[in-house]
Amino acid sequence: MLLTPPAAPRLILAPMEGVLDAIMRDQLTAIGGYERCVTEFVRVSQTLLPRRVFYRYAPELKQGGVTPSGVPVFIQLLGSDPTLMAANAARAASLGAPGIDLNFGCPAKTVNRSQGGAALLRSPLLVRSICQAVREGVPNSVPVTAKIRLGYDTDEQFEEILEGLAQVELSELTIHARTRRQGYRPPAHWHQLRKATQKMPYNVIANGELWSPSDVTQCAKISGCDTFMLARGALCRPDLAAAIQSQHRGTQPTAFAWEQTRDLLIQFLERNRQCYDDRYAVNPVKQWLMYLRIYYPQAGALFSQVKRINDPIQMAQALMAPCRAEAA
């Protein structure tokens, strides 16, 4: 009897406010392995946002809603008014967004105080109404997805949230396997996702603490998911998605050497200089180094060398000079 090999894992590049902008999306999706990305959240509070706001968050809209390597970019909206959320989703769709994602996971106090993000998880009916209104507000051809956590303070309402969402025709549901109170502290409770994979009438995407190909294998076993959203791990190891796909094919993943990653940093600085004022071009590089140092010791050494640099030319020189750790 011939056994069908298991399908390749589907990988989504997570939304990360202040980190995963169009430049970073371009660089990471160019390495390969991702099926789609999600923008940083677009805050919907009182108005129908002007078109320029959507273009700012997703410049990809001007190129068919995909990154230069052809990976679709869903627009993420965050807000609590169903009608307004639907109107903004319709506008994003009319600009060519290939999909809309709804944020119910943001733990930021300022956002939660104004009933946005994870705060909404305390009102499962409202979560459902927002999803329903957005689903009805955009053409059927445009997928609508949502991203939740297990709950706000506790996971007591998790099943109630799922029951509400099961009644809406979403395309997929991403679950960050922690409550808002658990923040970003390990572990992620992948076993909780099993309840969702059993209950939901559509696909569930696992998120939280996926740092390596073996984490994905382990998470798949525990959660029953075959789709995974990569967030901090994708920044620590730029080739993470490609490595996960290689592992699935049974080929030896050729891990990105530090030199390749440093070249990415050099390009990243250059791209930031083209898009932003010089004053703002350097900090994203430092921020990325903070993530990279979790995987590459050389990035930690380089960060110590560049942390006080504010001038982009000096930063470029420092990135291009062989790092002390490499020379040692």
Ligand X SMILES: Cc1cc2nc3c(=O)[nH]c(=O)nc-3n(C[C@H](O)[C@H](O)[C@H](O)COP(=O)(O)O)c2cc1C
Q: Kindly list the residues in this chain that would bind ligand X in the complex (CB under 6 A).
A: 14-19, 40-41, 76, 103, 105-106, 147, 176, 184, 207-210, 231-233
Write down the least CB distance from residue 184 to ligand X, Å: 6
- Our CB check for ligand X shows the closer of 147 and 262 to be 147
Q: Which residues of 223-256 are buried (b: 16+ CB within 10 A; e: fewer)?
A: bbbbbbbbbbbbbbbbbbbbbbbbbbeeeebeeb
- Rank residues 170 and 316 by Cβ distance to ligand X and give the closer one: 170
Closest contact distance (angstroms) between CB of 2 and ligand X is 36
Q: Please, what is the minimum distance in Å from the beta carbon of residue 208 to ligand X?
A: 4
What would the DSSP string read from start to end of 38-78? EEEEEE-SSS---HHHHHHH-GGGGGTTB-TTS-BEEEEEE
Nearer to ligand X, 128 or 180 (CB): 180
Other Cβ atoms within 10 Å of 178 Cβ, number: 24
Among the listed residues 127, 109, 26, the one whose alpha carbon sits nearest the alpha carbon of residue 67? 26
**Residue burial 30-50, b: 16+ Cβ < 10 Å; e: rest:** bbebbebbbbbbbbbeeeebe
Give the CA-trace dihedral at 29, 30, 34, 40, to 10 degrees. Answer: 10
Amino acid letter, residue 102: L
Strand residues in the chain grouped as ranges (E)? 10-13, 36-43, 73-78, 100-104, 144-149, 172-176, 203-207, 227-230
Minimum distance from CB of 258 to ligand X (Å)?
Answer: 22
- Active-site option among 37, 106, 236, 323: 106
131: annotated active-site residue: no
Tell me how far, at minimum, the Cβ of 1 lies from ligand X, in Å.
38
75: CB partners within 8 A, 6+ apart: 38, 39, 42, 54, 57, 58, 89, 92, 97, 99, 100, 101
Task: State which residue, 211 or 256, has the beta carbon closest to ligand X.
Answer: 211
CA distance 9 to 192: 20
Q: How far is the CB of 118 from ligand X (least distance, A)?
A: 9
Q: How far apart (Å, rounded) are the C-alpha atoms in residues 74 and 60?
A: 10
The catalytic residues are: 106
